[in-house]
Amino acid sequence: MPTSSTLLRWSVAAAAGSALVAFGATPAAAAPASDSQGFIDSTARCAAPATAVAYGRTDSSRVAVCKSPDGQYQYRGVRVRDGARLITEATAEDGEFVAENEAATYTVTARALTVTIGDDVVREETMIEFHGPAASAAPAAPAAPTTPTPTKPLGPPLPAEVGGSGS
């Protein structure tokens, strides 16, 4: 039979655990699951017969660049925070992939996902995981911090894209 001091320690531990849950503290999120086609259960994934020529993730985005059997490239990106997705044509040159959507240009390299409008860098996100060719050009100087431009969500996020979880 547990002693009163043991019961007290259990109560304190249970209360501390409840406080962590109540305040949103969770263990560090595991990396999202991936395979040779990109991120599993994600917009950032290539569907056969296309193959992934590059895919990666930043703290706030996941991207995949797919190549169709006829040699066409497709950019598939998702912003993890709200599930906003972009699927559009892309080009490839020297380990760098470029996609355009209205005024914005998305550039994917082994080092970063960079979003520009005209000559202005709107956002530069460092890759924390990348699979694909390394860029042949020297890395550019880091951009000054900027505020991301809002985009309208393109429907609800897939389960694996909500809150950055990998399950």
Q: What is the pLDDT along the chain (167 residues), one digit of tens a residue?
A: 555 444 334 443 344 333 333 333 333 467 888 888 989 989 999 999 999 999 999 999 999 999 999 999 999 999 999 999 999 999 999 889 999 998 999 999 999 999 999 999 999 999 999 999 875 444 444 444 444 444 444 445 555 455 544 43
Instruction: Read off the pTM.
Output: 0.65
What pLDDT was estimated at residue 1?
A: 53
CA distance 50 to 114: 24
In 3D space, the residue among 55, 52, 57, 65 whose CA is nearest the CA of residue 29 turns out to be: 57
pLDDT of amino acid 137:
42
pLDDT at 14: 40
How confident is the model at residue 20, as a pLDDT?
Answer: 32
Quick one: pLDDT at residue 154?
44
Bridge partners of residue 61, in order along the sequence: 79
In angstroms, the CA 13 to CA 150 distance is 42
- Alpha-carbon span 11 to 72, nearest angstrom: 61
Given this model, what pLDDT does residue 95 score?
86
Query: What six digits make up the tokens of 4?
Result: 């009163």
Identify whether the C-beta of residue 90 lies closer than 8 Å to the C-beta of residue 75: yes
